[in-house]
Structure 1
Amino acid sequence: MPVEVLKGTLQGFKTSLPNRLQKVDLKHLRLGCNCANKYFQGAVVISYPLTRLENGKAFFKIVLQESENSSSRTDTINMLLFGKLAEDSEKVVHQGDTLVVAGFSLTKSASEDGRHCCQLEMSDETGSTIYICPKSPCTAAASETVSISVAPKYTYTPLNHLKGGTVVNLYGAVKFFKPPYVSKGTDYCSVVTIVDQSDTKLVCTLFNANRDALPKIYKNGDIVRFHRIKVQEFNGQMQGVTSNGFAALTFDGTVGAPVVPRTTSKLFTFTEEDKKTVEDLRIWVASNSSNSVPAANLSSIQPQMFFDLTCQLVGKAKVDGASYLLKVWDGTKCPFPSWKVLVKEDDLEGDSVLINQLKNLTVDVVVYDNHVQLAKSLKVGNFIRMYSLHAKTQSPEGKPDVSYVQFHLHGGTGYGRGITVLPENHTDVKKLKAFLDSLDLRKYAGSEIPSAEPEDSYLTLGSCLEAYQELSVTVLTDHQHFDVTAVNTILNSRIPQQYRIRAKLRRFEPKKLHQSIKLLCPQCNLLQEVPDVTEFDTLLQASATRPNPDSQNIPFCESVVWDIESQGSRYVAVHFVTRYELLQEPEDSLIMIEGGTLRDILRLSKKFKGIIPVRSVEDNLVLLDLSVPFFWQGNIQYYGCQRCSDPKAVASLSALAVQQNASWEPTTIAEALGIVLLQYVFVMKFTLDDGTGTLDAYLVDAENFFQIPASEVLTSNIFQEDMERIMNKLCPTGRNPDGLPWLECFIKSYYVKNGREEQLSYQIFDTMIAEDV
């Protein structure tokens, strides 16, 4: 039977195995190796719940660790079970059991989790077998008792012994950090500078697609443990970056606080020796720390200072597209009159009774630019810490003798600016909650601070326009620490560089907005027009050949041939790509088509996930000429760069067909086929005017600026209407120039060759339209 629970000893069972079966170790498991006569032995360290694939097939995932010579996470491997084998195994496999598995196939791991680069795949259909040696109660108790003594032994490298090109384990104290923020890609990034007793510092740049998977650092002085961090040398300095299998633990750096690791991982080791290392670092930090930004409460702030504030959120509201209001308190009272942001009562989220009760203890913090999205996600009642908060004095217009304190969390990540939600069990949160609960709020019912006239005590839109540009119809997505530069200054500079400007849009080209959509190669920067789809029919028919019967025997496809005109004059072959030798639902299926016309492809694209036009060459299938789209998905066609691409036979898709988490997306398919994917982009010329001069800046953007995908504008009336509405807002026809809205954006200057001369040009980047435009 495929699954067998052993009643005797494992050693006795192994002596009865057929002689043809030989044990294979993890270090010998490589893609392409013959596993037909091999078996693998490992202990179950994790088993996931049984799930169902989209086709209804059962799926069960187990993580195995070698029973012998295991020392780290890299000595574990993922095992994927399918069908009835998955169902039967899920009922009898438990953590700690030892498994002997045979009849498995080996594929590339679909997970970047630091485990073995391959994964074992098994199903009853392929003759796979699993033998289970259960973990007895006495064995379980014994293993739990000695779990610390058998934990993997890790070696930690002092920071002054680091060498470039190595992957090491580290301990250190946080000297500086930036809370996680969205990088230019899709990942979150956190920058952490750590030090240790050698007085050496290391700047670490950490990336992860999941914000919560990055180290949970709350303040300078926290202790961190990094496993498998890659060290590289840059400009004579060592830097740390995340590598495959990177893992982190974080500890409160306060001497005497419980040594409890903060982590999202369910599987980690922590010994008495680790505990001593943390405590030693705490003592060293206590006698050597020097924080550049002070932590403060509201009662101790001074005008113009930057400080870290731990507080509770009692209310929040949208101010405009580039800023957001947070009403917070920490139980102490600001000693200066503070501005209140005027928002509609219906827009203010929070308990109105509590907000009114605390009105003399709360302050209004306005956060800008890249912090807005996180501010929106905060929940009223959260305990938060804001880093590098600015207490700035401002006088109402016409009243220089009156001043108020404004609280701003400026855009960017400079000086560690950001917001973090603190957990309920954090030491600082416990202290703050106890303090807030002890307050008698009745004594604060009346205002003890000189109040201003109502019209002066509120921060209305535009009152800080010059300094913070809340009314800009654009949002900056990076580099917010740049100062605004006048256009005439930029025009007088001949050195290519980057600028932040604030200007109005006088005119733009092209006026017919659909003409702004182009195709761009990300490698050679070739820019070309989007072809007219009706032109493809001639090219498709010219490339059509009678399907070769030998090309119908593709291992990862099921193929059919249709006689379209019933007289043998035109044939169409359709190859349905399978996943684990099974067909998928049409809306999830990838198909390849030979001899299809434009009408055939458009008809099939309404039903299937994606279509690849192909032709037969001898007994292989190859792509058509790249002058036509290599991939069709719905109403969108995807093109490859004819200069940079190196097309492969479609057999290259076989690796994707067996990957559990692979998706039939254009970028994935292009990579597998050796295609450099052309990007749909907006290409427009903006004439910008700030009153000191005008310059023409080009916008070359796929979707960030307009928050609209360029690939879909040509086929979507809704997106075309959105484009027209946005451009009418930015540059309305017939509007007095003084009434045009302000655009705040980044531009970079660069030289382009115009014949024998070089001409200075400008391009907009890291800027997008505000949500409410």
Structure 2
Amino acid sequence: MPSPINSSSSGFCCGKAQPNLKISCWTRLRNEAAAGKETDSPEEFHIVSFRGIVALSYPLTKLGDGTDFFKVVLQGLDNLCSRTNSINILIHGKMAEDCAKIIHHGDTFIVAGYKLAKSPTAGLDGRHGCHLELSEEAGSAIYIYGKPRTTAAPETASLSVAPKYVYTPLNHLKDGTIVNLYGVVKFFKPPYVSKGTDYCSVVTLVDPSNVKLTCTLFNGNLDSLPKIYKVGDIVRFHRIKIREYNGQMQGITGVGFASLTFDGTVGAPVVPRSSSKVYTFMDEEQKTIEELRVWAASNLSISGPAAKLSGVRPMLYFDLTCQLVGKAKVDGSSFLLKVWDGTKCPYPTWKVPVEARDLEGEKVVLHQLRNLTVDVLVYDNHVQLAKSLKIGSFLRIYSIHTKQASAVDEDVSHIEFHLHGGTCYGRGIGVLPESNLDVKELKAFLESVDLADSQSTESMSSVELDSTFNNVTDLESYLQRCQQLPVTVLTDHQDLNNTELKTILNSTAPQQYRIRAKLRTYKPQKLYQSIKLHCSKCNSLQEVPDGDDFDFILQGSAVTAPNPELHNTSWYDSVMWTTQDQKQRKIAIHFVKHDEMLQQPEDTLLMIEGGTLKELWKLTKRFKCVIPVRSTEDDLELLDPSAPFLLQGNIKYYGCKQCSTPKPIKSLSSIAAEQQPSWEPTEIAQVLGIVPLQYVFIMKFTLVDATGALNVYLFDYENFFQIPASEILTNNSLQQKMQMTMNTLCPPGRKLDDLPWLECFIKSYNVRDTMTHQVYYQIFDTTVAEGVV
């Protein structure tokens, strides 16, 4: 039996978690030095790591070319009193600056990915004949296990007290603060490419205070985001910025943000997964990790929707831990991944038709595993990552959707595996290191699989389809075959049982229910009328302003010419010109700078004075954010409160007139000064004193079952239709998608018996005033099934 494919890995972690880091490494180094061995290739040593105690550290200095330089003396663990058992560590660049901030005498210090060279000072200091050179550019890594020390070693050039970090419980967070915190992951979205150039990850944390915190994390380097693999992982965030939004605290990345992630399983080794090359981890923090694990095991449902291929069924959403054995491009918006987990799918599976020359992977292995692999088709924003995956790597694919369909002119139905576009419900792909416990278990299982047994007969769990297969499922015939399957999906509260509508009508509010019903009618019939603007602070609703209103406001603001005295400040550059038409309008554009430099257009925020609506839309196609402004004597300011305060892509962002208190435009300079300004609309709104209005779907559904009828309201931003309400007014394809969805949920001209079932969560609530009392009902935690949309 051939061995399963294994991807190489050289990762390791610090402290007690690595008993394999022995002093024999020092013996090897001495032997190499004695043999006169020297190398300029750090790759030769990437798999070797050295551990010792920091005996001496020198002040951070700069070399002649301006590069930061930091020197550390590392003492071997076998003889702490011998100078010959110590070695010089020379650290260059950004890594030197980071190390100088947190390294202290007595810390346990591990290095990997170094360059070995002869030490020119060995004859003077009596230390090892070689030294180690490290830098981030060379792929070096440093791991520090800090312990508070009360006494100094005899030889000390720089000595300071180990830093004592204060960690804030989630129920003590305050707006505008920068804090350190611990939390258990309740929900997360694997990193994905944002609308700019950065990667983004969304994480929802909880802790024993029973408060929830959602963090939106950005970084241009994928490896700098938290390495979260599953719900229940524990994270430590340092220097995360806290902002209040919609009455709730949110976390965002700021200057100096760093993270550690730990497996949340009780009894698992406490091994940090770091977003930084340099970090500290104290003894008392291990106790914090273990306490959070115990709390989460009793208070948090962390089982997740994980499944084996042997346990899948149609219309399921699940997470799959697997190994990649093949991949291929299908078309511009989809990509094929061939994966296996050692078990066999109980249903016939669809084989995506691709040319043999386009399929990457070892042909022999693909043939041997042909009855155990499944084809996962990934779409849209996941394609870029899928292309970069290495054959043999171990993956966790989040929120795979299984669909049941039949090939054209065939009676045999089969299962299809899809990873749809978007990031709703944590959809995405994570690459797991071989040190991961789940990967170790999977590898051991894969090595035990008897491939000869799976190849003895042709398995009925694999239907080979020719290249003429039409990948469009006939939804009408599908609903006829599977009439009992609901066309909606529940995203939480799976423990609730179904309740008849008659029982709900006779019950007091507030309560939550799970129902199974049919959609008899809905309003409004003109779906674009369902889009409203909602203020979460005053709970008001208003219509989306007409584009002509905005154009009229722009024309009025163009009457006042831009003030030249407000041009070219320390945080933005300005250009101004006069149009060649009869009106000879003066237009000024102010480009916001970062670190005194202009950014790439796709990362740039600009402000415009005197432009028309047509000119603004042209700018949004090239630049990330556009803010229409006008001049005063002292500063730039936003336009009329009825106008959008920001344009991004095709979306206009409005503020609440009642709740907003606009601030001067110069307030934006605080974001421009950040290390990595993201120019997110919520952050821009906050610094400008704007309470943003959110686009929402407002619809009225009349649901029926055998016991009665109930009017239920849909109040949703994007979860139910899996379409952002903010984008539907400007996107024809999304409007068509929404109309097709409603035609499926409530097919026109159908009898009640022929309508599909909807499974929903609804909640009842009271609305009282001085004269009346009414009970209303609202859909929540429900989404349209992917196969329906």
TM-score scaled by length of structure 2 = 0.53
> Offset at 1:643?
0.5
Task: Please tell me the residue identity of whatever aligns with 1:673.
Answer: L
Q: Distance in 2 between matches of 1:606 and 1:720?
A: 21
Equivalent residue number for residue 546 of structure 2: 532
Supply the AA of the counterpart residue of 1:530. V
User: Unaligned stretches of 5+ in structure 1?
Assistant: 1-40, 51-59, 68-90, 101-112, 116-134, 194-200, 231-240, 302-307, 317-324, 332-337, 365-371, 388-418, 452-460
3-state SS of paired residue (2:498): coil
Q: Distance in 2 between matches of 1:599 and 1:520?
A: 27
Pair 1:43-2:60 in alignment: yes
1:749 corresponds to:
764
Q: Provide the rounded CA distance (Å) in 2 between the counterparts of 1:716 and 1:202.
A: 40
Match of 2:753 in 1: 738
Contact 2:395 2:431 in 1 (8 A): yes
2:701–2:713: 8 Å Cα contact kept in structure 1? yes
Contact 1:216 1:263 survives alignment (8 Å): no
* Structure 2 counterpart of 1:726, one-letter code: T
Match of 2:26 in 1: none
Matched, 1:628 2:628: no
Take 1:385 and 1:563, find their aligned partners in 2: how far apart are those partners? 56
Q: What is the alpha-carbon root mean square deviation over aligned residues?
A: 6.8
For residues 621 and 179 of structure 2, what CA distance do their matches in structure 1 show? Answer: 51
Aligned length: 563
Q: Deviations over 1:264-292 (max 9, x none)?
A: 54323579x799x89xx99xx9xxx9xx9
The 1-side partners of 2:557 and 2:629 are apart by 9
CA contact 2:61–2:68 (8 Å) conserved in 1: yes
Structure 2 residue 370 is the aligned partner of structure 1 residue 340: no
> d(CA) in 2 for partners of 1:44 and 1:190?
40
Q: Does the 8 Å CA contact 2:484/2:757 hold for their aligned counterparts? A: no
| TM-aligned CA deviation for residue 170 of structure 1 | 12
Say if 1:310 and 1:330, in contact at 8 Å, map to a contact too.
no
Cα distance change on mapping 1:749 and 1:428 into 2, 3 Å: closer
Match of 1:235 in 2: none
Give 2:518's aligned amino acid.
K
1:267 partner SS: coil
Please give the alpha-carbon distance, in whole angstroms, between the structure 1 residues aligned to 2:180 and 2:667: 38
Is the 8 Å Cα contact of residues 563 and 631 (structure 2) preserved in structure 1? no
SS of the aligned residue for 2:593 comes to coil
What does residue range 428-443 of structure 1 map to in structure 2 within 5 Å? 433=443, 437=447
The answer (yes or no) to whether the contact 1:151–1:269 under 8 Å persists in 2 is: no
Aligned to 1:19: none
Structure 2 residue identity aligned to 1:43: L
Q: Could you say what secondary structure the match of 2:671 adopts? A: helix
User: Per the alignment, do residues 293 and 769 of structure 1 end up closer, same or farther by CA in structure 2, a change over 3 Å counting?
Assistant: closer
Letter of the structure 1 residue corresponding to residue 505 of structure 2? L
Aligned to 1:268: 279
Whether the aligned pair in 1 keeps the contact of 2:397 and 2:430 (CA below 8 Å) is: yes
Match of 1:683 in 2: 698
With over 3 angstroms needed to count, the CA separation of the structure-2 counterparts of 1:186 and 1:529, relative to structure 1, is farther
Q: One-letter code of the match for 1:625?
A: D
What are the within-5 Å matches in structure 2 for residues 37-116 of structure 1?
43=60, 93=93, 96=96
2:321·2:394 contact (CA, 8 Å) conserved in 1? yes
**1:509 Cα offset (Å):** 0.7
From the CA coordinates, give the structure whose radius of gyration is larger. Answer: 1
Query: Letter of the aligned partner of 1:500 in structure 2?
Result: R
Q: C-alpha deviations, 1:353-383, integer Å up to 9, x for none?
A: 99998999x899xxxxxxx99xx99999777
1:719 aligns with 2:734: yes
1:728 aligns with 2:739: no
Aligned to 1:707: 722
The 8 Å contact of residues 531 and 695 in structure 2, kept in 1 or not, is answered as yes
- Deviation, 1:654, is 2.3
* Paired position in structure 2 for 1:128: none
For each residue in 1:324-365, what CA deviation from the matched residue of structure 2 results, as whole angstroms up to 9, or x when unmatched? x9997779xxxxxx99335445599999999998999x899x
- Give yes or no for the alignment of 1:424 onto 2:434: yes
Matching residue of 1:494: 508
Question: Where in structure 2 are there 5+ consecutive unaligned residues?
Answer: 1-57, 73-90, 104-118, 134-142, 147-152, 154-158, 192-199, 241-250, 312-318, 328-336, 375-381, 399-428, 461-474
Where does 1:178-189 land on structure 2 (aligned, <5 Å)? 187-189=202-204
The aligned residue for residue 673 of structure 1 is 688
CA contact (8 A) 2:490 2:760 kept: yes
Tell me whether 1:639 sits opposite 2:654 in the alignment: yes
Offset from partner CA, 1:619-655 (integer Å, 9 cap, x none): 3222222122222345432211101111011122222
- How many angstroms apart in 2 are the aligned matches of 1:43 and 1:505? 69
Map Cα deviations across residues 441-470 of structure 1 (whole Å, 9 max, x no partner). Answer: 6578889xxx9xxxxxxxxx9xxx9xx999
Give per-residue Cα distances to partners, 1:174-199, cap 9 Å, x unaligned: 9x99796789x962346689xxxxxx
For the structure 1 residues 550 and 136, does the alpha-carbon distance in structure 2 shift closer, same or farther, using more than 3 Å as the test?
farther
C-alpha separation in 2, matches of 1:169 and 1:542 = 48
SS of residue matched to 1:741: coil
Show the counterpart of 2:779. 764
Question: Counterparts in 2 of 1:289-300, with a 5 A limit?
Answer: none
Counterpart in 2 of 1:405? Answer: none
Instruction: Give the Cα–Cα distance (whole angstroms) in 2 for the partners of residues 426 and 507 of structure 1.
Output: 50
**8 Å CA contact retained: 2:70, 2:96:** no
> 1:321 matched to which residue of 2?
none
Matches within 5 A, 1:346-745: 346=352, 423-425=433-435, 433=443, 437=447, 471-547=485-561, 549=563, 551-555=565-569, 556-564=571-579, 571-580=585-594, 581-583=596-598, 589-598=604-613, 600-602=615-617, 604-605=619-620, 608-745=623-760
Cα distance in 2 for partners of 1:763, 1:476 equals 14
Q: Is the partner of 2:659 in helix, strand or coil? A: coil
1:511–1:620 CA distance, 2 compared to 1 (3 A):
same
Q: Structure 1 residue 511: deviation in Å? A: 0.7
- The SS at the match of 1:268 is coil
- The alpha-carbon deviation at position 471 of structure 1 amounts to 3.0
**Conserved 8 A contact 1:179-1:217:** no
Q: Classify 1:381/1:520 alpha carbon distance in 2 versus 1 (closer, same or farther; 3 Å).
A: same
Amino acid corresponding to residue 434 of structure 2 in structure 1: E
Contact 1:43 1:99 in 2 (8 A): no
Residues 735-772 of structure 1: CA deviation (Å, up to 9, x unaligned): 12222222222222212246621211112222222222
- Pair 203,625 (structure 1): closer, same or farther in 2 beyond 3 Å: closer
Q: Does the 8 A contact of 1:650 with 1:673 survive in 2?
A: yes
Cα contact 1:205–1:242 (8 A) shared by 2: no
Q: Cα deviations across residues 678-697 of structure 1 (Å, max 9, x unaligned)?
A: 11222111112233222122
User: Is the 2:501–2:515 Cα contact (8 Å) retained in structure 1?
Assistant: yes
Does the C-alpha gap of structure 1 residues 690 and 314 become closer, same or farther in structure 2, counting only changes over 3 Å?
farther
In the TM superposition, 1:54-203 aligns within 5 A as: 93=93, 96=96, 153=162, 187-189=202-204
Q: Cα–Cα, structure 1 residues 653 and 737, in superposed 2: closer, same or farther, change >3 Å? A: same
What amino acid does structure 1 have at the position aligned with 2:779? I
Distance in 2 of aligned mates of 1:583 and 1:137: 45
Instruction: Give the SS at the match of 2:779.
Output: strand
The percentage of aligned residue pairs carrying the same residue is 44
Call closer, same or farther: CA 1:481–1:229 in 2, change over 3 Å.
farther
| C-alpha spacing 1:705/1:155, structure 2 compared with 1 (3 Å) | same
SS of the counterpart of 1:723? helix
Of 707-716 and 135-144, more deviation after overlay is shown by 135-144
**8 Å CA contact retained: 1:546, 1:571:** no
Structure-2 change in CA distance of 1:214 and 1:692 (3 Å)? farther
